[in-house]
Amino acid sequence: MNTIEQIRKGKSGILVSGNHEKIVQSILDFDFLSGKEEPSIVGIISGNKKAQKFFFGTREILLPCYKNFEAVPKSSAEKVSWLLNLQSGRRVFDSTIAFFAAYPLALGAHLFAENVPESHATELIRRFGADKLIAGPSGVGLVVSGSLKLGAIGGTDAVQLSASHLGTPGSIAVVSTSGGMTNELIRAVAMAGKRLSFSISIGGDRFPVTSLTDVLMLAENDEETSAIVYFGELGGTDEYEIVELITAKKLTKPVLAYIAGIIDEAFDEHMQFGHAKALVARTDESARAKRDALRAVGVVAPETFPQFLDEMKTLPQNGFQDTIFDAIALLERSKSILSTRSILDLDSAPVFIQDGAIVRRGDSTFATAALRALLGREISDVAAAYVEAVFELLIDHGGNVSGAVNTMITARAGRDMVSSLASGLLTIGPRFGGAINEAARTWLSGVLSGVSAATFVEAAAKEGMVLSGIGHRKYRVGIPDPRVEALAQFTILLKRHSYYDFARAVEAVTTTKNGKLILNVDGVVASVLLDILVEEDHFSAEELQELLEVEFFNALFVIPRTVGFIAHFMEQKRNDEGLFRLPDELLFVRPSIKKKK
C-alpha cells in the first residue's frame, strides 16, 4: 500500500474513464488552487470525441480524449498514476482491470459508481487490495491537500474547494464510508480552524476495495497527520476495527468519532439506512454499542453532532499558511460554446520602422507566424525557412490547373474576389493540391511499419491504394520537377531524414514500372517537412498523426495558392474580357441513339 507521503511526492497524473464534467472541472480547480502549473488530468477515455473543453483557472484548455488506455501517447502515459473511474457499476470491473494492465505501476484509483456487483468488488480486492489505494466502489474519492484530488471529494465547485482550504496542506485526516458526510466533515474541519492532511471516502457498498484498517494505517504512518476524524453509522463492524487497532497499539493518534443512527432504537425492529452496510444484523452493530466500544479504548465519541463539531476545535494542528484563491473569479468564467485560443497576440505591437528605417525582422517572418498559428507552438528556424520556401514555390503553377480556371471563369462572370477565390479553393482535393496531407500519411505509415519500400508498394498495389506523393503528368525520370529538387536541398541540414529516404526508396520501386511515377511536389513537401518536424522540432509519432487528422499538411498548399488564385482574379478583372463561354468546337456532343423499330 502506498503511503500518503509517496502520494505527495509522486506523480499525480490522472486518467478519467467515462465523464462527469463537474467532477473533472473540480479537479482542475483544485490543481489551480494548489498552485500547480499544469492540470493533473492527463486525458479522458471517451471514444466519441477527440477533446473536451475545460478551464484551468480562467484559461480555457482542451483535455484530450482517447478510445482506450493503450491509445494514450507515451509522453502523456508516463505521467499517469491514478484512475478516476466514472463508468457505470456494470462497467467498473472491466475498465479498472484494463487500466492496471496498461499501467501496472499506477498508485490507485477511485471507483465512483454504486451497486458494483459484489463478485466484481471482491475480485478487485483480491487483485489490488494489498498494493493499490482504491477508494470505492461508491463514495466521493480521495484527496491529499495541495497534492491530489481524485473524485468529487471536497465539493464540485470553486467556492466549496476554497471554503475547505484544500490547497493548504494540514494535519487532520478525515475518514468515512459516506461520501456526503466526508465532504461535510472536510468543511467542518476548516470551519474549526484546522486544515486537512488527507481524506478518503472508503465507499458505501458492502465490499470496499481499500479497508478502513488500511486507511487508518495510512493516517498512523503519515508524519503530517496529527489526528483522525471519523464518521460512522449503525450497521457493519468497521468501528470494531478501530477498537482492535487501538487495543493492539497499532493506532496511537487521537481519534474523534461520531456514530450516527441512534434513532434506530426508536423502532420496533432495526431499519435499513442509506448505505448497503448501514443495516444492523446483530446487537453489537447498533450505533450505541459501537459508540460505547470506541469510548472504552479512548476514542472521543460525543453524543450529539454539535458536540462532535465542538470537539474538532480541540484537535492538535500543525502550523499552516493558507493559499490565496479567488473562487468568485472562477465562478465567473465565460462559458463559450466553441473551444478557441488566441491565434495572434496583440498585447504588444511589433516594431516595423525604427529611426526612419525598415527593421529587418527575419527572412521567414510570415512562415514563422503562420506555423505558430497553425501549430500553436514555437518552431525551429529550419522549419520556418522550409515552409517559406514551400510558400514561394507553390503560389502558382500556371493558369491551366482546375483551381485557377475556376477562379478566372468566376471572375469573368462578374463576381467579386471572395466568390472567385472560393470557387478556386473548392477544387482543391485529392486530385488537385489536397494530396500533401495524404502523402504525409503515406510516408508516416510506411516508416512506422518498418517494412521495405518494395514490400510497402506491393502491399499498396494489392489493396488498390493510390500512393499520394508519387506521379506527375508533365515530369518523369530524366525530366524531374525543379520544385522537388529545390525542396530536397533542405535534407542537407538534417542529420537524419528517414521519411524523405523512404519516399525516394518508394520512387525507385515505382519508376521501374512507369517513368512518370516519380516523387512529385506533394510527396517531397510532405516527406521533408516530416523529417524537419521530427529532427528540429521534436514532434512525436503521435503528434504527427494528430497533424494528419487536422489536415495540417494541406495548409501548405492552400495558403500560398490562395495568393495565386487572387492574382489570376485580378488579372481577369484588369483584362475585363466578359463572360467566358467554351467554344462550340470544344463541346462534347453526345451522339444520338436511334430507337430500333
Q: Which residues are catalytic?
A: 275
Distances in Å between the alpha carbon of 256 and those of 246, 253, 310? 13, 10, 11
Distance CA 287, CA 241 (A): 15
- Evaluated on CA atoms 302, 304, 309, 314, the torsion sign reads negative
Task: Measure the CA–CA gap between 131 and 133, rounded to whole angstroms.
Answer: 7
H-helix or E-strand containing 197?
A: strand 196-201
Q: Tell me the backbone φ, ψ of residue 582, rounded to 5 degrees.
A: -75, 130
Q: What is the DSSP secondary structure assignment for residue 272, as one 8-state letter? A: B
β pairing state of 13-17 and 353-354: unpaired
Contacts of 122 (CB under 8 A, 6+ apart): 207
The β-bridge partners of 258 are 231
Residue whose C-alpha cell reads 470557387 in the numeric block? 423
Cell of 351: 516594431
Q: Which residues does residue 52 pair with via DSSP β-bridges, in sequence order?
A: 63
The neighbour count for residue 112, using CB atoms within 10 Å, is 29
Chain-centre distance for alpha carbon 542:
13
**What is residue 228's three-state secondary structure?**
strand
| DSSP SS3 for 494 | coil
- Give the H or E element holding residue 29: helix 21-33
Distance CA 567, CA 575 (A): 12
Q: Which of 82, 91, 179 is nearest to 138 (CA)?
A: 179
**C-beta of residue 304 within 8 angstroms of C-beta of residue 15:** no
Kindly write down the DSSP assignment for every residue of 349-363, as one continuous string.
PPP-EETTEEPP--T
φ/ψ of residue 464, rounded to 5: 70, 25
Place of cell 471517451: 46
Report yes or no: 229 and 201 within 8 Å, Cβ to Cβ: no
Secondary structure letter of residue 282 according to DSSP: S
Residues 255/299, Cβ–Cβ less than 8 Å: yes
Task: Report CA-CA distances (Å) from 258 to 198, 230, 237, 249, 308.
Answer: 18, 7, 14, 21, 7
Q: Rounded to 10 degrees, what is the CA torsion of 19, 20, 26, 32? A: 20
Residues in contact with 465: Cβ distance below 8 Å, sequence separation at least 6, in sequence order:
none
